[in-house]
Structure 1
Amino acid sequence: MGVHIDITGLRPERTAVVLSSLAELGMALHALSEPAHHPGLQAWVTGVTARLDPHLADRMCEADFLWRTTFSDLFLPCAGVPGRTTLPGATLAEELDLLDKLSDEQFVDAALEFTCALPYDVPGGGPLVDEGLRRRALELAAARGPSQVLFTERLLADPPRIRDWLRQFLRDCDEAFFAETWSRLRQQLTADARLKTDLLRHKGLGEALAAVSPAVTLDAAAARITVDKLGDGRSVTGDGGLLLIPTSLGWPHLMVLHRHNWQPVLHYPVGSPEPAAPPSVDQLSLRMTALSHPVRMRMCRNLARGAFTTSELAQVHGMTAPEISRHLGVLKKAGLITTRRRGRYVLHQLDVTVVARLGSDFLESILR
């Protein structure tokens, strides 16, 4: 499980840590559409929403499927430019110009990523050339309401028209609220990009990725980056590059652009409140599975209140010592209990701190 990026042959100079105002605008729109994903941004969301022009707010709803789930790859058009070495523009206007360098097929595929469930990291025709995918896109749009049907119909009929609509909408968002936000965030993101760049130059890619997130690891021998996510995906840098793009508004989302034939991008949060070493998806699954058994749930009730020996638990629960030992083994393997020796007795106790974190760990993992 996870997203893997094959970096065989990747030259050091082809890895860049850069800022993207367009990607951050995408995260801003996402946070405004799904504020529950970003409780730390509640004050910012409330402030922007309160002064948002009603007409712009209505337009924001017309295509919110581009950013409500997370945000569309359209907010990183540099990755789709042929050659796979293009960097984000220095300004939002320059990044919006990169949208024009995407083909109509690329634009439509990315715009319908969450609506049509197109094959993401494998080659294949999109709805502009595949009539079956076209029908499927319209069917799925219909399930989400008339506004999305209308948008999807317009997108499939006239991609340049929607491209122009999106550009103007994003410019209006910039004028209404984002330019002020970006001027405040840019300093923090610039400092982080400088730090990661120094790590790249002086300590290598592995150190830089470790600083990006504990969920990102490098297997230098296999020439592969693995991002621990609740999903599967693959990408290759090939003769292109690799981009690391920091976001201030994006926590807890650690996103990987791994679209087929696009430049891989790690879009990672900075200044996040995540623990130094969050559990992996596999560890989290192990813990939740361990707690799902009714016997182990009842045992945890005792272990949360004090330390017990195996024989004491066997007596309390009316089970044999070997049966209790097996359940304790599952809990211990999941890292949910601690043990200590007192004379000839071994005492077991629930690690309440770990259990208390499960809710936030689960939420972080599914939103990562």
Structure 2
Amino acid sequence: MSVSIDIAGLRPERVAVVPSPLAELGMALHALSEPGHHPGLQGWVTSVTARLDSYLADRMCEADFLWRTTFADLFLPYAGIPGGATLPGATLAEELDLLDKLTDEQFVDAALEFTCALPYEVPGPPVLADAELRRRALELAAARGPQQLQFGRRLLDDPPRIRAWLRQFLQDCDEAFFADTWSRLRHQLTADARHKTDLLRHKGLGQALAAVSPAVVLDEAAGRITIDKLRQGHSVICDRSLLLVPTSLGWPHLQVLHRHGWQPVLHYPVGSPELAAPPSVEQLTLRMTALSHPVRMQLCRNLARTTYTTSELVQIHGMTAPEISRHLSVLKKAGLITTRRRGRYVLYQLDVTVMARLGSDFLEALLR
């Protein structure tokens, strides 16, 4: 599974690495709503939450479906501006002005991204004019509670009112906590953007993308970028630009905007805490499949304690040598066991470090 972006014909000057204060505010709201996704931000979340006034906290809950899952494409409004070449603003005020430039249809469509299952990669019917889509949106909102149903009704009935509400809410968040946060983070993000831009200029797009994340791979021959994620998706650059937007608050999320008609955006974390390249989705699948068999789980129990030869495992489990060898082969292919030779014997042992990371690796892949 992966998200791919066809970049045939993409000119180097149409790739930009630019920090975005509005995207970072969206990620801040997400981290405050789902702190379990971001254990490294525990101190920051506690500090901000402690000084939030109750009125702003209530408003934060009122529309949290816009940022709880991750955050809606509304926080990347420059990607939706016609022409496909608009860059993020230097300030939050500039980006809120860009948000105002989206049409009501674009605004509502992006706001309902997580609650209405609207078409994302292909043109869809206009939700404001389609009675059936409106009915479905409200039905799904009702399943999430009366507060979201009420907000959904207001969004569909009076988009300008909700747009004004959201702008004021984001400005209030900026005054309450985000301006201080942004003043600390923007220097790191600017430095990262400068570094990626230098890689683009001197070593090419492939090197820059490799520095973004090991999960992002460029196939120059095919003219395609592939992002390793537990989902399917596809976008085509056409005559639009490609934006790379760094975030200091985003790990482990690596987000890809590939909405139809919008310019593609890679929103990637900087300063992530992982010590090594995360395993691919294919590797995780191999590992989870390998551990799904009870015999292989029993072998792992033995091999976690000490090394064993095939013949020793045959005696312990009362199975034939070919059967044990097949199970060991599956575990080895999945990268769960290591081998070393002692004379004419091969000794097998569980890679405890890999096993210890499996849970966090799997969670990271789910959140990527």
**Same fold at TM > 0.5:** yes
Shift in Å, 1:275: 3.2
d(CA) in 2 for partners of 1:83 and 1:229? 28
The SS at the match of 1:246 is: strand
Q: Is the Cα–Cα contact under 8 Å of residues 78 and 88 in structure 1 kept in the other structure?
A: yes
Deviations 1:301-324 (A, max 9, x none): 101111111111111011111110
The SS at the match of 1:244 is: strand
TM-score (norm 1): 0.99
1:367 corresponding residue in structure 2: 367
Deviations 1:159-192 (A, max 9, x none): 1111111000000000000000000001111110
1:355 corresponding residue in structure 2: 355
After TM superposition, the structure 1 = structure 2 runs for residues 1-368 of structure 1, keeping only pairs within 5 Å, are: 1-368=1-368
d(CA) in 1 for partners of 2:297 and 2:238? 49
Q: Which stretch shifts more, 205-214 or 341-350? A: 341-350
Shift in Å, 1:130: 2.2
Shift in Å, 1:126: 3.5
Deviations 1:15-52 (A, max 9, x none): 00001000000000000000111111111111110110
d(CA) in 1 for partners of 2:198 and 2:351? 39
Q: Which stretch shifts more, 53-62 or 130-139? A: 130-139
The SS at the match of 2:305 is: coil
Shift in Å, 1:346: 1.0
Amino acid at match of 2:222: A
TM-score (norm 2): 0.99
d(CA) in 2 for partners of 1:131 and 1:338? 59
d(CA) in 1 for partners of 2:148 and 2:160? 18
d(CA) in 2 for partners of 1:145 and 1:182? 33
The SS at the match of 1:308 is: coil
The SS at the match of 2:338 is: strand
Q: Is the Cα–Cα contact under 8 Å of residues 214 and 276 in structure 1 kept in the other structure?
A: no
Amino acid at match of 1:281: V
The SS at the match of 2:16 is: strand
Q: Structure 2, unaligned stretches of length 5 or more?
A: none
Change (3 A) 1:275 1:131: farther
Amino acid at match of 1:346: V
Shift in Å, 1:123: 1.3
Large movers: runs of 4+ above 6 Å: none
Deviations 1:203-260 (A, max 9, x none): 0000000000000000000000000000000111110100000000000000000001
The SS at the match of 1:121 is: coil
Q: Which stretch shifts more, 345-354 or 198-207? A: 345-354
Deviations 1:53-72 (A, max 9, x none): 10000000110000000000
Q: Is the Cα–Cα contact under 8 Å of residues 5 and 225 in structure 1 kept in the other structure?
A: yes
d(CA) in 1 for partners of 2:318 and 2:136? 56
d(CA) in 2 for partners of 1:238 and 1:276? 35
How much is the aligned-residue C-alpha RMSD, in angstroms?
A: 0.7
The SS at the match of 1:22 is: helix
Shift in Å, 1:120: 1.2
Shift in Å, 1:124: 1.0
Amino acid at match of 2:227: V
Q: Structure 1, unaligned stretches of length 5 or more?
A: none
Amino acid at match of 1:276: A
d(CA) in 1 for partners of 2:175 and 2:237? 35
d(CA) in 2 for partners of 1:40 and 1:141? 31
Q: How many residues align?
A: 368
Amino acid at match of 2:69: T
d(CA) in 1 for partners of 2:61 and 2:191? 34
